[in-house]
Structure 1
Amino acid sequence: MKITVTRRLGGAIIFILSSLLLPACSYNPFPTNATQPQEKSVEWNKHGGDDGEQRFSPLQKITPDNIANLGLSWSFDLGVSRGIESTPIVVDGTIYVTATWNIVSALDAKTGALRWQFDPQVDRSKAADLCCDAVNRGVAFSDGKIITGTIDGRLIALDAKSGIKLWDVVTVDQSQPYTITGAPRIVKGKVFIGNGGAEYGVRGYMSAYDINNGNMLWRFYTVPGNPADGITNPAMARAATTWTGEWWKFGGGGTAWDSMAYDAELDLLYIGVGNGSPWNQSIRSPGGGDNLYLSSIVALRPDTGEYVWHYQTTPGESWDYTATQHMILADLEIGGKDRKVIMQAPKNGFFYVIDRATGELLSAENYVPVNWASHIDLKTGRPVEVPEARYGSQSPHTQMPGPFGGHNWHPMAYSPNTGLVYIPAIETPFVYAKDKDFSYKEGRWNTGADMTKTSLPTNEADFKAIKEMLKGRLIAWDPVKQKRAWQVEHSSPWNGGVLATAGGLVFQGNASAKLVAYRADDGTPVWDFFAQTGIVAPPISYQIDGEQYIAVASGWGGTFALLYGGVLPEKQATAGIKRGLGRLMVFKLGGQAKLPALSDLVERKPTPPASTADKATVANGNRLYDINCAVCHGDHAISSGLVPDLRWTPFLASDDALRLVAHDGISSTKGMPSFHGVLTEQDLHAIRAYIISSAHKGLKNE
């Protein structure tokens, strides 16, 4: 392998110039030859299309030549607009989709008729434990059962035909701030599920359950616990040597909240492991160390949970650089040899090609601008860090990528026909600085980073400059040559997951409220559909009675949308993020259905109370708001519309009114947590003063 790397002085941005490698080939779980019978039903019965998670459909009836005839066949109103991230599953003519608060709908996949709906009645006060919106990424199917995870940490089995609950088990200690937002996976009669909550101080793990009765079969912890409790296995013994201090008091993190893949031939289950708790390593592990198995791909035996190998993408993780992002299995020809690989574009900005049998790193190059490391050393497999990036004792460092990553949870896709991986990429700088006043708050947001440094500027020139730095792209990446083949620019960083098809197309939704189809070979856009709301979920494709369908769930949301969706609005997406526009939309050639007409979404803004507080109180309220409120209600108190805009809430009328919500918890059943024991009455007074000031001030771009 020959790789030439040049970089801008200071290691700011790395560009790959050349690599003498041969093209991709072979691995394809779906035969796609032109003579394949196309009249039978073709399902989408696994989260990623197959166990290798390629998100590639073998269907080829919809092509660049006829896609102009693609139209809406039917749509189903999910009743919400907030954070629809579900991958639909299609089995035996039924399509299953989840929405906010884990409600499962089963629909006729041909007509959209509702067959059944299941509401797990989750405790909505668990919204206090959600870092990134009340989302859910879908269900799993096997043995006539639909399996779903819930925000409050349960795993539930439903009869696929009737929706009747078969079993319901709690997978977490519900007294701790664990959550489930990811889709389960099922292999060999076992259901696998992880959890989230690292920012709130939990210890991550992956568990396996018997699909027949919900009995837990094994559990693999991703980080070591308190040494006084003993070491449970060799994998944890190895990990414990890479931590220092008293990390277990902060939970440690390492939650496996999303991605998995499975290789039946090797009988290996691959899990992606998340960030540390807190983010700032100098707090949780003051003596340094790799902190295994944070930010790692870990290979396990699915029958026992036995550790086989790991590869750590970000040793000593300190930036929320998770490795929970989508993983894809493929067979590639590299350097004249056929290699069974696992590919990942995690948050840290580098695209990794790894031997999935051994964990050997084969190549790693940056797919977005990176300035926390100059490159990945292929001999050691480790990043060569820029010293300034370690913000534990350094000055603030403006860094690329930020905690949204170069790629977040939105799934990639791989086409064996083109040999390209299609990445929904993100470019968002972030100022990392140590929180000098950090004190651990049990069950609350604990990063160890100074979150007040991350607020967008209010002066027009600086705001415009930063806004221009925030980019979203669809990148077609050659994993053998380790360089981009083509890319498409988006107007917002926060766009949807991707589907590739044998018809030569790539489908992706975006923040501008459109589902778009591109030519898979060169990225030319050939079709789009206005969805009335932004799309973050990935599309799928299936076939019934010889007819190919494309399906996608709409409804903008997630952490970026909550935090910046109001400050950085997209013209069309802003119109679509009001309530009631989340839908499952299904398309086919010749489809003639229409979405309901958009009603008048302009809301009259009430006059806020007078702004009478002094500057010191407003400044303190700004600090407290950024730490406790901005992640849901938006930067500068400007909401995306997914949750109430606090500048116009009637509860702003008085300190007593605000206390009813923020302290007494009268809206906890709607997802608004109580901050009792976290915020004092003086704190709430300051926050109210800041919100009132923001309501009067506003931003010119609003």
Structure 2
Amino acid sequence: MRIITLGLVMAAALTAAACQKGDGGAGQVDGARIAAADANAEWLSYGKGYSEQRFSPLDEVNTGNVGQLGLAWFAEFDTDRGQEATPLVADGVLYTTTAWSKVYAFDAKTGEQLWSFDPKVEGSKGFHACCDVVNRGVALWKGRVYVGVLDGRLIALDAKTGRQVWSVQTTDTSRPYTITGAPRVIKDKVLIGNGGGEYGVRGYITAYDAATGKQLWRFYTVPNPTGQPDGAASDKVMAEKANATWSEGEWKKTGGGGTAWDSIAYDPQLDLVYFGIGNGNPWNHKIRSGGKGDNLFLSSILALKPDTGDYVWHYQTTPGESWDYTATQHIILADLSIGGQPRKVLMQAPKNGFFYVIDRATGQLISAKNYTNITWATGVDPKTGRPIETPQARYQGEANLQIPGPLGAHNWQPMAFNPKTGLVYIPTNVTPFAYTDDTGFSYKPGAWNVGVDFLTNALPTDAATLKALTAMIKGQIVAWDPVQQKAVWTVDHPYFWNAGVLTTAGGLVFQGAAEGQFSAYDAAKGTKLWTYKTGNGIIAAPMTYELDGEQYVAVMVGVGGGGQISAPASMPQRPRLPGRLLVFKLGGKAQAPAFPEPARPEIDLAMIQPSSGDTKNGFAVFHQHCQVCHGPNASGAWLPDLKASPMLMTADNWKGVVIDGASASRGMASFAKYLSPKDAEDVRAYVIQEARNAVALAQPAAPEATQGAKAPTPKS
């Protein structure tokens, strides 16, 4: 058999430690217990154990009886934005987070809420969250729960009561940093990165003492723009390897990017911790670094020593990154038999579309093949490890339509590895994007600074072309053989932005979908075996646990995130709905009520104060500044639908929000730093035009209906 279970010997040695439940307190989790979770039924860290395989040996629920799954219990939350957390379960308590970095603890058997914690993030911070005000979960360690907060804080809570024990500010609050990822704890150190790469920040990873919150080390992922050392763990490798790979360019103003906003894995035997590093800022390599240099450590996997943060090795998936092709995607550790030899490997399917198998001790590339169709490269050179780029990949002048786009062939949604089937299950996106130089680029502090002209990605105005474009976009689960580097089976989804996955020894793969369903598939064949209609889309990865001999499967429900915000025309048109936690078991009889129909926003277009704005300029300004949150052509309906917003009614209302910041507390910051009042009114004129066009498209047989008609609203 070619698959060797990771850490088999170690797991056996740690079985006794895993069975110990601490001193009777809540959340008594340590390193031995997390390491053992890779091979047992516990789910104690974001990806289950340190290897992040998201495979459970539980098999009470299996291909033969999964159709008997029913709802055991559920909880509904007070946040209606995207829900991305993977719950953890320790000693009978389930811990999870919701949007706005709120933390909850439940009795894992009954669903009784034990406590909740609200870090009270200011609504204005939502402006700095490129991809929604989400949170992916907590870490557990020795009676405490650790959460990274959207505004850059790292907070330790008492696992029994939810009381705050300590809080540290991990970021410079004058810069647009955020935290959405789950912390990990290794050897009494809480590890956390940050986000903000689209806006203009300098990425880094930090380790804090789990008991006190004291900073222990920091590793910067891009050089110091001043050229000076930082007094950080990264200083030596920056001088020896990274500094020379950066040339003159806008990165010295923006910070360069390279944020470590998600993936972390740890090998206790090698004592190495692995981080995925994000995109450059600006995205455009020509603007960022004069088109020169590999720009280490952008789009790289970094291996560090957890005690000191010292550099061990790196592998750069996309040298000279220019497309927002992050390598922050899920990292999995496994032991595989390759060419008849056992290999300790690291596996990743980053945004760029290649599946990498890497020796995790040395960083040597073992193999890399594209797991979906891509247009920017034809392969990876096995000798150099570098992608073989197509001639048009580095967009110069004319628009270049490429697959994948910035949302990636695989985004943050976790994949999973099943050692029984030998397959990795990848939530895959097919998302084209037209890359064009932003020839008028100038750094705008605190705003998006990507160096790409978003105007090129405005939606076509005729229905036939729009239909043809959206037909190209879809989602998939790809069951990938990492040894043979080929797909074994693929399931297509009608929408591209779906959920992370879970796989089990019961021969199952679980995944939620954008259209509002949670399904189980045969892990060997891809056949759909069971579906539960959730009434709201799912993007979070499920998990499973066992209590009193019963297996439970849990998933957070609530669509959102970057795909929903940035490409709403390719997603189901539904209003925001409250997030839920759904927990299933065989024979479950609970009933979750249908979501209430939200009030539909409506405005009378005949009553809108006419605008003297220039719609042509408004079109350009909207796509430069507004489309990333409100969708191309004002197509977004999940964040406030501008075409049906009361702020559209008068020039004063519009200016009050866009220029004066009247809605800053709800995440809509003032754009006075970037737009003149005339620009703002031009955008209003353009949105009014789109609102009238939408009515005309909805009622093609009655063009006169634009008089006194009401703007269309999303249908659930």
What TM bracket, shorter-length normalisation?
Answer: over 0.9
| Among candidates 560, 563, 567, match of residue 560 of structure 1 | 563
| Among candidates 476, 482, 486, match of residue 485 of structure 2 | 482
**Which letter does structure 1 place at the counterpart of 2:270?**
L
Correspondence for 1:685: 681
Correspondence for 2:325: 321
Correspondence for 1:584: 581
Report SS of the residue matched to 1:387.
Answer: coil
Report SS of the residue matched to 1:191.
Answer: strand
Q: Indicate conservation of the 8 Å contact 1:103/1:118, yes or no.
A: yes
**Which letter does structure 2 place at the counterpart of 1:159?**
D
Correspondence 1:463 to 2:466: yes
Correspondence for 1:202: 201
| Whole-Å separation in 1 of the counterparts to 2:665 and 2:584 | 36
| Among candidates 623, 628, 636, match of residue 625 of structure 2 | 628
Please identify, of 556-565 and 177-186, the stretch whose mean Cα deviation from structure 2 is larger.
556-565
| Whole-Å separation in 2 of the counterparts to 1:604 and 1:400 | 35
Correspondence 1:651 to 2:647: yes
| Whole-Å separation in 2 of the counterparts to 1:200 and 1:690 | 25
* 1:185-584 mapped onto 2 (5 Å cutoff): 185-230=184-229, 233-237=235-239, 238-246=241-249, 247-391=251-395, 393-565=396-568, 567-570=569-572, 574-575=573-574, 577-580=575-578, 582-584=579-581
Q: Indicate conservation of the 8 Å contact 1:647/1:695, yes or no.
A: yes
* 1:69-148 mapped onto 2 (5 Å cutoff): 69-148=68-147
- How far residue 204 of structure 1 moved from its aligned partner, in angstroms, is 0.2
- How far residue 676 of structure 1 moved from its aligned partner, in angstroms, is 2.4
- How far residue 80 of structure 1 moved from its aligned partner, in angstroms, is 2.4
Q: TM-score normalized by structure 1?
A: 0.92
Report SS of the residue matched to 1:299.
Answer: strand
Deviations 1:497-539 (A, max 9, x none): 0000111100000101000000111111100100010000000
Correspondence 1:599 to 2:596: yes
- How far residue 652 of structure 1 moved from its aligned partner, in angstroms, is 1.1
Judging changes above 3 Å, is the alpha-carbon distance between structure 1 residues 158 and 231 closer, same or farther for their aligned structure 2 residues? closer
Correspondence for 1:15: none
- How far residue 81 of structure 1 moved from its aligned partner, in angstroms, is 2.6
Identity %: 52
- How far residue 601 of structure 1 moved from its aligned partner, in angstroms, is 4.1
| Whole-Å separation in 2 of the counterparts to 1:597 and 1:200 | 39
Judging changes above 3 Å, is the alpha-carbon distance between structure 1 residues 68 and 196 closer, same or farther for their aligned structure 2 residues? same
Correspondence for 2:24: none
Q: Indicate conservation of the 8 Å contact 1:25/1:419, yes or no.
A: no
Q: Indicate conservation of the 8 Å contact 2:514/2:571, yes or no.
A: no
Q: TM-score normalized by structure 2?
A: 0.91
| Whole-Å separation in 1 of the counterparts to 2:208 and 2:229 | 25
- How far residue 44 of structure 1 moved from its aligned partner, in angstroms, is 1.2
- How far residue 611 of structure 1 moved from its aligned partner, in angstroms, is 8.2
Q: Indicate conservation of the 8 Å contact 1:611/1:692, yes or no.
A: no
**Greater relative CO (CA pairs within 8 A, separation 6+):** 1
Q: Indicate conservation of the 8 Å contact 2:557/2:581, yes or no.
A: yes
| Whole-Å separation in 2 of the counterparts to 1:348 and 1:579 | 32
| Whole-Å separation in 2 of the counterparts to 1:627 and 1:213 | 44
- How far residue 594 of structure 1 moved from its aligned partner, in angstroms, is 1.0
Correspondence for 2:159: 160
| Whole-Å separation in 1 of the counterparts to 2:467 and 2:440 | 31
| Whole-Å separation in 2 of the counterparts to 1:276 and 1:339 | 32
Report SS of the residue matched to 1:444.
Answer: coil
| Whole-Å separation in 1 of the counterparts to 2:287 and 2:449 | 11
**Which letter does structure 2 place at the counterpart of 1:628?**
H
Correspondence for 1:694: 690
**Which letter does structure 1 place at the counterpart of 2:385?**
G
Report SS of the residue matched to 2:127.
Answer: helix
**Which letter does structure 2 place at the counterpart of 1:691?**
V
Report SS of the residue matched to 2:135.
Answer: coil
| Whole-Å separation in 2 of the counterparts to 1:163 and 1:287 | 49
Please identify, of 653-662 and 396-405, the stretch whose mean Cα deviation from structure 2 is larger.
653-662
Judging changes above 3 Å, is the alpha-carbon distance between structure 1 residues 24 and 195 closer, same or farther for their aligned structure 2 residues? same
Please identify, of 664-673 and 279-288, the stretch whose mean Cα deviation from structure 2 is larger.
664-673
Q: Indicate conservation of the 8 Å contact 1:147/1:155, yes or no.
A: yes
- How far residue 395 of structure 1 moved from its aligned partner, in angstroms, is 2.1
| Whole-Å separation in 2 of the counterparts to 1:98 and 1:632 | 23
Report SS of the residue matched to 1:698.
Answer: helix
* 1:599-618 mapped onto 2 (5 Å cutoff): 599-601=596-598, 603=600, 605-608=602-605, 609-610=607-608, 617-618=614-615
Report SS of the residue matched to 1:46.
Answer: coil
Correspondence for 2:31: none
Correspondence 1:672 to 2:675: no
Report SS of the residue matched to 1:282.
Answer: helix
- How far residue 605 of structure 1 moved from its aligned partner, in angstroms, is 2.1
Q: Indicate conservation of the 8 Å contact 2:515/2:536, yes or no.
A: yes
| Whole-Å separation in 1 of the counterparts to 2:560 and 2:517 | 15
**Which letter does structure 2 place at the counterpart of 1:365?**
K
| Whole-Å separation in 2 of the counterparts to 1:228 and 1:270 | 26
Deviations 1:195-240 (A, max 9, x none): 0011111000000000001000000000001244247522111100
Q: Indicate conservation of the 8 Å contact 1:428/1:469, yes or no.
A: yes
| Whole-Å separation in 1 of the counterparts to 2:609 and 2:383 | 60
**Which letter does structure 2 place at the counterpart of 1:579?**
L
Report SS of the residue matched to 1:157.
Answer: strand
Correspondence for 1:26: 5
Report SS of the residue matched to 1:683.
Answer: helix
- How far residue 604 of structure 1 moved from its aligned partner, in angstroms, is 5.7
Q: Indicate conservation of the 8 Å contact 1:42/1:544, yes or no.
A: no
Report SS of the residue matched to 2:53.
Answer: coil
Deviations 1:27-52 (A, max 9, x none): 266979xxx999x9943111000100
| Whole-Å separation in 1 of the counterparts to 2:208 and 2:11 | 32
| Whole-Å separation in 2 of the counterparts to 1:516 and 1:668 | 38
Judging changes above 3 Å, is the alpha-carbon distance between structure 1 residues 338 and 653 closer, same or farther for their aligned structure 2 residues? same
**Which letter does structure 2 place at the counterpart of 1:327?**
I
- How far residue 82 of structure 1 moved from its aligned partner, in angstroms, is 1.3
Task: Give the aligned length.
Answer: 668
Structure 2: gaps (5+ residues): 22-39, 699-713
Judging changes above 3 Å, is the alpha-carbon distance between structure 1 residues 604 and 658 closer, same or farther for their aligned structure 2 residues? closer
